[in-house]
Structure 1
Amino acid sequence: MTETVFMPTLLPRLQRRARRLCRTRDDAEDLAQEAALRLLQRLAKNNDVDRPEHYAMILLHNLARQNWRQRQETEELADDMAQTAPAAPGRIACAELRAAIAGLPCEQADLMARLLEGESSPRAIAQQTGLPLGTVMSRLARARARLRKELDVEGSVEELL
């Protein structure tokens, strides 16, 4: 049979090519042997392979691609990774903060509302409202102190805004 004639020369060529496609020598040996085995099975069923060496190299590359696709690196999941933090507490805190700001005196609530809208500079707020910078800063300081007291928050309310 022709398989026995070309197999001693084909197997070393398959192994050399497989070493370029695999990470370890053992994986390369397994890949080359698998390609040779499939070639022999194909030839045993029907001898319709015109160029067995070419067919074996294609088999080798296809098997390597199949192994790459199956060997996707995954990270082991821990119990805490499967859970997502609930959004409700943050939303409740924001709603409570907005309600507390609405309960402030008008001049303080207006300035805090500007902070909520994204303005973070007391100087810019002073320019927008036409108030002196010192007035804006003192009203913001009083508003934050009152919010800390009402919301029973330790630290600064600026962290919430």
Structure 2
Amino acid sequence: MPQPDPLTAPLTDLMPDLMRVARRLTRETDRSQDLCQEVLLKLWVRLDAGAEIDDLRAYAMTALRNQHRQSLRRDQIPLGAPEVETMTLPNALDACALSETLCAIRRLPRDQERLMRMVAAGETSPADLARRTGLAPGTVMSRLARARARLRADLGL
């Protein structure tokens, strides 16, 4: 049986306050729920990546207000504008897939997990990864290959 995520409880405790502020900002139940979920997902991803946040409640409230402002700016873009065509809205299935992938990366052996986190952060050159980790480039490539194979198996791909 999977262990509960230690990040869930603090975020769950924030939900009532976030919803109250989101309802005040949007004045619409559906939009306030969407706004709250977007902020909680971003917070979860940030905390899962190892970010240390001193005052989670204050940080969450600021993130909520910033996300609301961003959505207002997005809504002001006229239809047919080039920005609208290139903009992609958050997709719940993508968010779930990301969460599953992050959990699968955490289950990898420590050396493979470290390399995969570096790749996920944008570092894709085996030579750069080798230099940053002190490993031989061949070792980096073989560990990444094993990590990717295990991730494909774990995720059923």
TM-score (norm 1): 0.43
TM-score (norm 2): 0.44
The structure having more radius of gyration, on CA atoms, is: 1
